[in-house]
Amino acid sequence: MPASLRHLPLLLLMTFSPLLCAAQTLQERLLAQELSTYRLLTLFHLSRLEQGAPEVQSRLQAEVQRFEGLLQAEGGEPLTADVVQQARAFQAVLLQSAQLHYDAIDFYALDALSQSAHTLLQLNHTAQEQLTQAPVSADLRQAILMQQIAAEYVREAASFDSGSAVYDSAKDRYEPVDVLAKTFSQRLQQLHKAKADNSEQRSKLGQVQVIWNYIEQPLLEYRERSLPFVINRYSEQIVALLVN
């Protein structure tokens, strides 16, 4: 991994959430909420792996605040009532589990969190499908997919039996990490072709490709090796590059 990417400025890594929180249209808010939901799940399970490390807890609380901000219209187009209701339910389940000591989070709590998140994401997607606004940026869709991959990978790594079997029902609701990774790789190649004539976009996608090459194989072999901290770190860089 080149030093220029290994030390990507912290400012870049932290700008994508506030950027999306500034969203005003319903489409922008729904997409921001989808990204934030996956980010909350990533940080929650990372906190389990880190045994409640203060730094991760702080980042989790900051993301909770951003997530809460998306529920407030503040002059923008409000989210639909069913999405807001389920978002608050998901937030409550997340906070309840996050307040427990890391070794007190049982399978029932994990299952409740998975169910709540899945319901929210389904409602979110339904609301997006009903919109007639302009198509969503392929870069943003790719960023959301990257965050989804990170959330699933870290959840697997944090499973009580080191990932050999996952007891919460998330495994029945989401595609496996390796399948998601193959989709990401295919879409990344499509982005390269679509933006071949734009030098700035080529440069950005080139950086994304370098980072992706570094983590793709561990993602494809996610049941054989576990590198959650590496995956989380570099997935954040990819998301930041794609959103900015």
Question: Tell me: the pLDDT tens digits for 65-95?
Answer: 999 999 986 767 889 999 999 999 999 999 9
Report d(CA 244, CA 8) in Å as an integer. 13
Six token digits for residue 29: 């808010």
Q: Would you put residue 135 in left (φ > 0), alpha (ψ -120 to 50) or beta?
A: beta
Position 16 scores a pLDDT of 52
Whether residue 114 contacts residue 174, with contact meaning beta carbons closer than 8 Å, is answered with no
Position 51 scores a pLDDT of 84
On whether residue 219 sits in a domain, the answer given is yes
On whether residue 2 sits in a domain, the answer given is no
On whether residue 34 sits in a domain, the answer given is yes
Amino acid at 82: D
Residue 218 phi/psi, 5° resolution? -60, -35
> Cβ contacts of residue 163 below 8 Å, gap of 6+?
156, 157, 222, 223, 226
Report d(CA 102, CA 45) in Å as an integer. 10
Tell me 195's DSSP state. T
On whether residue 182 sits in a domain, the answer given is yes
Domain holding 153, by residue range, is 9-243
Other C-beta atoms lying within 10 Å of the C-beta of residue 134? 8
Position 7 scores a pLDDT of 43
Position 75 scores a pLDDT of 64
On whether residue 142 sits in a domain, the answer given is yes
Position 107 scores a pLDDT of 81
CA 77 to centroid of chain Cα atoms? 23
Six token digits for residue 16: 């994508």
With H, G, I as helix, E, B as strand and everything else as coil, classify residue 123.
Answer: helix
Position 20 scores a pLDDT of 55
On whether residue 93 sits in a domain, the answer given is yes
Count structural domains, the chain: 1
On whether residue 4 sits in a domain, the answer given is no
Position 162 scores a pLDDT of 41
On whether residue 119 sits in a domain, the answer given is yes
Give me the average pLDDT of each 10-residue run along the chain (244 residues): 44 48 79 96 92 90 93 79 96 92 79 92 94 85 97 86 50 85 98 93 96 96 89 96 92
Other C-beta atoms lying within 10 Å of the C-beta of residue 222? 23
Which pTM does this prediction carry? 0.89
